[in-house]
Structure 1
Amino acid sequence: MAKSVMAVVDPGSRIPSTLEFFKVFLPNSSSQSMSIPPAFVKYFNGRIPSEAIIRDQSRNSWHVTLEELKNIVLFKDGWQEFVDSHHLKRGYFLVFQYDGSHVFDVKIFGKNGCKKELVSRISNPVPTVKVKDEPLSEEDYSTSLTRCKRSDSEVRSTDSSGTAPKSRRRSTSNLEEHSPSKTAKHISMKLPSPTPTFKHIVKHWSYKAIQIPQLIMVSNDILLKPNLVIIDEMGRSWVVKARPISRGRFSLTSGWGAFFIANSLTIDDECTFEFVLDSNNLCGELKCCSNKKS
């Protein structure tokens, strides 16, 4: 016969049904990482997970690493992407709810005390590459209309005898050929397949490492070599380590600092990276074009 055993639980050691803490976002200390209050760390029961998921009100999630530094536990790699995605600003109020395992649900409040509107994001991401399928410029339209007028005038011109043709209908073939909508459609059909690119706005923490957005990696099925070559506009190259963080998420680490310094990057500069892919979608090179803040 099985014996029933009653466990004696210390009331002071019980885990609350709702584990929550709040943080105020301060760019100087919270952009690169966010610390968890020391008083909250006890709820990890001595087993701090190496990775966690931060989930916002729309159930969109970001994978982050947890690091312990001098008895302080930090949201580290992946936190920067969360900050950028939600455009967090000084004074924003964040309320975290811990599920007791590895998930942190977060609510974001603006400085006005109201919940912040969320960014649009889906788990199966839409490619971030923008295809430039633009209509013709005003100059092109002007050229097209000029040609149409010239064709019209030629149709109505007099013949060699000096009299206008008796029955001559204006042909619409030229008008259709140079119609802006049809011309634009014709051009768009000839556009080459876009090359995957992503942009990074330089922050004060960017000199250490930057992350490649998960959306662009997953949506284009891109594979990365562990050591990438970054080539700048002048043709100079640097070997940079691509460190995997989670599925489809990579951080550019060792070697990135040298590229950062050599290109004199500063806060708010915009870097556009272009993937150089082989036939198997394997990337070993990134071409970088930097746009300096004016």
Structure 2
Amino acid sequence: MLTVSHVLMITSFSFILLNLGYFFPLSFCWFTYLSWGFKAVLTSAAASEFTLERALHFLFLFKASRYHLQMARSAPVPAFFQVLVGDFSEKLKMPTAFVNDFNGPALCKLRGPNGKCWDVKLEEKNNDLFFHKGWKKFVKDNYLEEGDFLVFNYDGNSLFSVTIYDESACEMDMEEAKRKRSTGGLVGQMRDYVMPGETRLRIIEFKSEHLCFKRTMETHRLYQLNIPIIIARAKGLMSKRTIELRDPSNRSWPVAVTPMEDGRTLMNKGWCDCYKANQIKKGNTVVFEFVKGHVKLHIVRDEGYEVMLTGPNIVY
């Protein structure tokens, strides 16, 4: 006779056999085992002592063992991190410990926080492995700066998922980074003007109470840069040998100043190191703001913006 104990035992056994399908291939004929289990339960003397409490306990133990089996089968995802320092915009070195166990293809994909992927070619040099061709575009498109902290998770199939952390030690807000970093952190109002002929002009209005000037970088300005005569005289630069520049990361750069016979004052030695470290490129606009004791730099990398300086001490 089919008793309550039999029903409990059959139900428990059915649950387990049904869940075995999670671990075994579909071709596994667990229906056969289920039929065998029903027969064994109906003829088992132990079924008479199979209470509801024991059935629940049995199911709990099975679920716990299944969980641990899942955890054991889940291999850890290979990963590494890198802090962006120095000249990281052209290529980025992988950690040696990761490379020793890496056997992926020469062409990989980097998936950014927004889900978009970039093709990046790996370069081997002196037994080191670098993200190289394509890496520069990934840096530019994700507004990466020195000091950013990147975590690379490798899925084993030529794909790296990249998580980006900024100076706040939290995941980077990409929209905020786009707004702030593409305009060099300038605090001002962005405006779009439609000029005659339907030409759209994008303007950043930068207000300052300090003496300041701007320069759009050209090839000759990457090595030395002319300071307006009015500012040089107002700040007494003709009698100084160096000035201190502060970049957007608040790093200090001592730069030599040289007065010329025609009245101009040039920034030269030290300026080249500053622009290289900040990845200043031809076409970028740099605002030089003379605050107390140093010159603050604002770098606008987006060439689609025209910077308009406003204030009582603006010099062009």
Scaled by the length of structure 1, the TM-score of the pair is 0.37
Radius of gyration: which is bigger?
Answer: 2
Structure with the bigger percentage of helix: 2
Scaled by the length of structure 2, the TM-score of the pair is 0.35
